[in-house]
Amino acid sequence: MNTISDEILNKYLDGELSKDESAEVDRIVNGSPVWKQRLMALKEVDHSLRNMPVPEITFDITSMIMQKILWNEKSKRQQKRFIIIVTSIFIILCLSIIGFVGFELIRNYHPENSKAIAYTIKYTKSISELLTSFFNKTNMTIIGAVFSFGLLISAYFIFDYSKVFRKIGK
């Protein structure tokens, strides 16, 4: 052993080295004031750690940790369920509108009639008017408020979910 390290000095203090290795550490430490000072500092740390009182835990830490784990798992499931429900409602709403418009266009399209294009244009205009009346200023305010509220709640859950992952990663 030509060089020593803090790890070797710690093993020396703990008595984990052989007699030959201990003698070599003694020789190096006694020959160098830097290593001698380093050994004294490690002895002080070792002494402080050995004399440190062990704190008593007065409550059931295991059950507390298990409750937190179960709560986190439940929270994750609720967040996933909420996101799936919001996404599903949005998709169903979009598909319903597309389906309704498509169904009405197909129902009112009569290729055997020479006025089929005129009927289609007339019907498309009536659907446009229906959608315009539905999406008026008042309804758009309500729809915007509902979507904004949904986005805020979703953002909260996503933020909370990311905090959980950051804690797990540490």
Cα–Cα distance between 122 and 130 in angstroms, integer?
12
Alpha carbon of residue 32 to chain centroid: 52
pTM equals 0.35
pLDDT in tens, the chain (170 residues): 567 888 888 888 888 888 888 888 888 888 888 888 988 888 898 888 888 887 776 677 778 788 888 888 888 888 888 888 888 988 998 898 888 877 877 776 666 665 666 766 777 788 788 878 877 888 888 888 888 888 888 888 777 777 766 665 55
The distance in angstroms from the start CA to the end CA of the chain is 37
Strands (E), the chain: none
